[in-house]
A = this chain, B = another copy of it.
Amino acid sequence: MAEIQRFGVTRRWSDAVVHNGTAHFVEVPDDMTQDVRGQIVQVLNQIDERLKLFGSNRTRLLQVLIYLPNLTDGAVLNPLWDNWVPEGHAPARACVQATLGHPDCRVEMVITAATGGS
């Protein structure tokens, strides 16, 4: 039976859950008062920090599901994303419109990543 490791556990969710070499986590920007660019930059930075929790890094992303309340924000997302993803290590990616839990939230990402790498 493979062990489960949880990071940042609250009553409602964990910041990350690792099992069998795979990590699952969800990111929304910590500061939702920022504009869409600021929120996307935050989420990408938060992913980097989260990956460090279990000794991984952004070369080990497997799948990212991106939710945008306003699909036109894809024009802001894509250049930031393309610059952030290490060349040759892009994950599978879906990006769809969805209204999010907090009305000020402009982006939410659901991430599956491999552990290891450091």
Contact = CB atoms under 8 A, between A and B. Distances in A.
A97 B95 contact: no
A53 interface: no
A20 B93 contact: no
Contacts of A2: 21, 114, 116
A81 B13 CA distance: 10
Contacts of A117: 1
11 contacts: A1-B21, A4-B60, A4-B114, A13-B92, A17-B62, A17-B63, A17-B91, A19-B114, A20-B114, A63-B110, A65-B110
Interface of A: 1-2, 4, 6, 9-17, 19-22, 24-26, 60, 62-63, 65, 67, 71, 74, 78, 81-82, 85, 87-101, 108, 110, 112, 114-117
